[in-house]
């Protein structure tokens, strides 16, 4: 029991790839039953040379072709040494079910005698057990059944830590944007040159003096600032004086552009057709101490009236601290008109929204469009030809536009 527990904390694991010559579903069922763990099904698009690296049972070469249906099992155990029942025990340990050595015995499956060799399959290692299965199937089906397998040792990484390290802080115009697990910029600026805080992603931060630091944790809602379309919007917004201006972020995603609009002095409203985006936006506004004037689930035409503002997303302002910054509009019954509308979506959606985007703008109001592929630029310019072009920005294969409504 102690040895098995130690195995679960090894720095490496084994990845066993199995390619049955036939009876694929039977192999899958067998592995699921006797390992009681997860298996991965995949298609190997490998060359014949790569398939030659596999070992075979029976010994003679099997007729395997590429692509091939394969089964992958990942475990802390050695498939050539560890008894099969230990795989099931590992699964139970992961779920907190195994308490004592007696649990080992309980994981030994009750097998059909027809799928036994001269000794219990549960006492065989993984490859031996598969050989027993193939042998029994060959006898029952009166046709050769075999499999190929490859065993690889891989490093057991901390995938969460690796993911977090991959999300680097971002400098854009007057803003320093980071995830909450990265140190604040002031910490980096105060740290000695030899500090472990130094990294290629942060090396230039010491001489960078932004007006604002923004915390955005990557989530399912789009918008961390790294994508070219978001980056260009941040650049355009950072040069705008929005003090006292009424602004709308359409398709708000994570809320990052709305937060920057607020930092530039704007009074922010936001909307998104994805309910998760509404939740993330409210969370990120609160995390950055940015007041959010109004937010709703839906598009421009779904904007709630004043009496609905206290119960946006079916959540009362008094019930959630995330709602404490939502302020009722001064003239809620009047048709709203915005000084600035920002829509970072995709070209096809922007084209469909042309009418709504145009008519919620005040005369001379500014419209920022982003998420436009260069291949669709001419089409978008034609659709929004009733507006005056102010700026056009290109980054990678993306384009962002700054337009003004003609009075």
- 25 shares a domain with 72: yes
Is 161 within the bounds of a domain?
no
| pLDDT, position 26 | 92
Q: What is the pLDDT of residue 345?
A: 93
Asked whether residue 93 is domain-assigned, the answer is yes
Q: Are residues 232 and 339 part of one domain?
A: yes
23, 73, 112, 119, 131 from 116: Cα distances, Å: 18, 22, 7, 7, 11
Instruction: Give me the pLDDT at residue 87, please.
Output: 75
Q: Taking a C-beta distance cutoff of 8 angstroms, is the pair 402, 231 a contact?
A: no
Print pLDDT tens along the chain (407 aa): 444 444 445 678 889 999 998 899 999 999 888 887 778 888 887 655 566 778 889 876 566 666 788 999 988 889 999 888 887 665 555 445 444 434 434 434 443 444 444 347 778 999 999 999 999 999 999 988 999 999 999 887 776 676 677 778 889 988 999 988 888 877 655 544 433 344 444 444 444 455 689 999 877 667 778 899 999 999 999 999 999 999 999 999 999 999 999 999 999 999 999 999 999 999 999 999 999 999 999 999 988 876 444 334 433 333 333 343 433 344 444 567 999 999 999 999 999 999 999 999 999 999 999 999 999 999 999 999 999 999 999 999 999 999 999 98
Q: For position 160, what pLDDT does the model report?
A: 65
| Residue 163 domain-assigned (yes or no) | no
Q: Tell me, yes or no, whether 234 and 278 share the same domain.
A: yes
Output Rg (C-alpha) for the chain, integer angstroms: 30
For residue 164, being part of any structural domain is answered with no
Neighbours of 175 (CB within 10 A): 21
Give residue 91's pLDDT: 52
8 A C-beta contact, residue 39 and residue 28? yes
Q: How many independent structural domains does the chain possess? A: 3
Q: What is the predicted pLDDT for the residue at 86?
A: 81
Helices (H), 289-364: 347-352, 354-359
pLDDT of residue 339: 97
Say how far apart CA 216 and CA 319 lie, in whole Å: 24
pLDDT of residue 310: 36
Place of tokens 């019954």: 333
Residue 399 placed within a domain: yes
Start-to-end Cα distance in the chain: 79
Q: Is residue 289 part of a domain?
A: yes
Residue 199 lies in a domain: yes
Q: Residue 126: how many CB atoms within 10 A of its CB?
A: 27
Residues 66 and 144 in one domain: yes
pLDDT of residue 321: 34
What domain range includes position 205?
A: 170-215
Same domain? 347 vs 207: no
* β 361-373/398-405 pair status: antiparallel
DSSP 8-state code for residue 359:
H
pLDDT value of residue 205? 46
């Amino acid at each position: 029991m102690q040895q098995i527990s130690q195995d679960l904390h090894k720095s490496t694991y084994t990845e066993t790839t199995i390619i049955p010559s036939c009876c694929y579903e039977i192999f899958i069922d067998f592995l699921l039953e006797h390992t009681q763990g997860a298996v991965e099904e995949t298609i190997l698009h490998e060359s014949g040379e790569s398939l030659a690296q596999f070992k075979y049972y029976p010994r003679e070469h099997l007729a395997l072709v590429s692509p091939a249906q394969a089964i992958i099992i990942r475990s802390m155990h050695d498939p050539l040494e560890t008894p099969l029942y230990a795989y099931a025990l590992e699964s139970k340990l992961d779920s907190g079910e195994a308490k004592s050595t007696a649990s080992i015995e309980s994981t030994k499956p009750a097998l059909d005698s027809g799928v036994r060799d001269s000794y219990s399959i549960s006492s065989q290692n993984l490859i031996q057990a598969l050989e027993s299965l193939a042998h029994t199937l060959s006898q029952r089906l009166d046709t050769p059944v075999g499999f190929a397998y490859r065993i690889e040792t891989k490093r057991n990484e901390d995938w969460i830590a690796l993911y977090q390290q991959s999300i680097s802080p971002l400098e854009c115009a007057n803003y320093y944007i980071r995830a909450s697990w990265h140190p604040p910029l002031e910490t980096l600026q105060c740290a000695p040159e030899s500090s472990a805080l130094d990294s290629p992603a942060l090396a230039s931060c010491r001489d960078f003096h932004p007006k604002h630091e923004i915390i955005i944790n990557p989530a399912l809602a789009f918008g961390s600032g790294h994508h070219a379309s978001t980056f260009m919007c941040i650049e355009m917004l950072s040069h705008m004086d929005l003090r006292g201006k009424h602004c709308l972020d359409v398709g708000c995603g994570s809320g990052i552009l709305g937060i920057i609009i607020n930092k530039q002095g704007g009074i922010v409203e936001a909307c998104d057709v994805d309910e998760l985006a509404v939740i993330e936006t409210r969370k990120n506004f609160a995390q950055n101490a940015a007041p959010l004037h109004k937010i709703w689930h839906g598009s421009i035409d779904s904007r709630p009236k004043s009496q609905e503002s206290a119960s946006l997303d079916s959540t009362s302002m008094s019930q959630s601290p995330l709602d404490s910054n939502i302020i009722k509009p001064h003239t809620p019954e009047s048709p709203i008109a915005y000084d600035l509308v920002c829509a970072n979506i995709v070209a096809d959606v922007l084209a469909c929204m042309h009418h709504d985007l145009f008519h919620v703008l005040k005369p001379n109001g500014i419209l920022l469009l982003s998420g436009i592929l260069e291949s669709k630029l001419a089409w978008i310019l034609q659709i929004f030809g009733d507006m005056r072009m102010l700026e056009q920005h290109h980054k990678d294969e993306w384009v962002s536009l700054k337009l003004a409504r003609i009075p």
